[in-house]
Structure 1
């Protein structure tokens, strides 16, 4: 018997969970092993059930307060091994969506695309590939002119510098910690901001807040 893809669904709206359940229960290769209405419930389910994919809203109550599940998802994706994550969202902000990719989310589905895209997204991410729904791709494509679409992906070093900077470290402190020159750190910080579409320090702080880094 073919192994079913085990899925946990997390969203703070019962109607959304019901809609996702309706879509996925029609697929014989997918089994829903749990549903959660908040991040705490998702954490409990992950401790109790083996799971291949988490389908999660990113705007539901978080473990650390507020209505942001991204910090928990970021910690989840640091585990080895970890389930794949398909994020459900209504956010159309390109830098925010790019930030989800940077923390390791491999499926991002705009809720308006869910009926057509969700089942396929689960199969795609389990195969080790990335799946972005039509609305998500449009939001990401709108960030920059076509020749630079791939520039939105930060390198590992740029992402490392970005995280340390928004945690409050100055450029010279990051340089000392990472044993690089201050000039190199400044260049990587500017490059990260450019790729994320951030022009000012206030933009950077707001973006970090949105993805749970600040």
Structure 2
């Protein structure tokens, strides 16, 4: 009957609606087949690029997005990170589980700061992805074994979601890694040079980046440089 409360038992038996996004057909098909074998998971869409993912999210109810971050982006971009950042800032939004081969600690830390619910390395066991989806839908944060090892190599392992970049910090970060100097960014955005410098430092701190080389390496791995 409409309006009746859903008890915990009913909630646990509801399907978890998942969209799978990866530009490699063999990976996408393999992931879909794996997840289709899980009783609680229902695949509601698949995407080979960010544009298709965006269109699916506009037309399909979805609880969890499982996405690679190296697939073609939107507006000529070569990665999906910018789109995921916008998605995760919206309210409400689906949980995001990243499926990747990246093992750079700063990059993985940055994904956590963006607000993803899980990161699974493609070299980990197949059940890791199902565990990540279950954790995400329960409000947790899941890191697969390879990811934990990679992040553990950092001198200061980050706290998940300790500091999500603001829209202005992300804007400054993108322009800086594209080669613009602080004073050029200040002119373009009509802010003071001191403000731009502060926002750049804040973005680096939140992403766990200590040096200019760390910043360039991070930007290269997510396709911004």
Please report the TM-score for the alignment, with normalisation by the length of structure 2. Answer: 0.76
2:157 match: 149
What is residue 110 of structure 2 aligned with on the other side? 99
Match of 1:207 among 212, 215, 218: 218
Deviation of the 1:141 alpha carbon: 0.3
Shift of 1:111: 0.7
Deviations 1:73-113 (A, max 9, x none): 11111111110000010001111111111111111000111
2:101 equivalent to 1:90 = yes
Query: How far apart are residue 192 of structure 1 and its match?
Result: 3.8
Q: Matched residues in 1 for 2:164 and 2:69: separation? A: 23
Partners of 2:64 and 2:97 within 8 A in 1: yes
> What secondary structure, in the 3-state scheme, does the structure 1 residue paired with 2:102 have?
coil
**Structure 1's 191 and 21: CA in aligned 2 closer, same or farther, altered over 3 A?**
closer
1:23-78 deviations in Å (ceiling 9; x for gaps): 11111111001111111111111111100000011111111224311111111111
Call closer, same or farther: CA 1:197–1:18 in 2, change over 3 Å: same
* Matches of 1:96 and 1:17, distance apart in 2: 22
Q: 1:109 to 1:12 in 2, by over 3 A?
A: same
Say yes or no: does 1:21 pair with 2:32: yes
Structure 1 stretches of at least 4 aligned residues deviating more than 3 Å after TM superposition: 150-171, 185-188, 190-195, 208-214
1:72 match: 83
**Contact persistence 2:109–2:207 (CA under 8 A):** no
Report whether the alignment pairs 1:61 with 2:72.
yes
Task: Structure 2: give runs of 5+ residues left out of the alignment.
Answer: 1-9
66-75 vs 5-14, greater mean Cα deviation: 66-75
- Which has the higher mean CA deviation after the structures are superposed, 57-66 or 46-55? 57-66
Provide Cα deviations, 1:170-201, integer angstroms capped at 9, x if missing partner: 49x6xx969xxx69x7599279449724322x
**SS of residue in 2 equivalent to 1:198:** coil
CA gap 1:89/1:106 in 2 versus in 1, 3 angstroms: same
Q: Which moved more, 1:204-213 or 1:75-84?
A: 204-213
Q: Deviations over 1:102-148 (max 9, x none)?
A: 1111110001115030011001011111001000111000111xxx4
Asked if 1:36 corresponds to 2:47, the answer is: yes
Distance 1:35 1:161, change over 3 A: closer
TM-score, normalised by the number of residues in structure 1: 0.80
What is the alpha-carbon root mean square deviation over aligned residues? 3.4
Match for residue 175 of structure 2 among 163, 167, 178: 167
Any conservation in 2 of the 1:88–1:109 contact (CA below 8 Å)?
yes
Aligned partners of 1:41 and 1:188: how far apart in 2? 32
Partner of 2:4: none
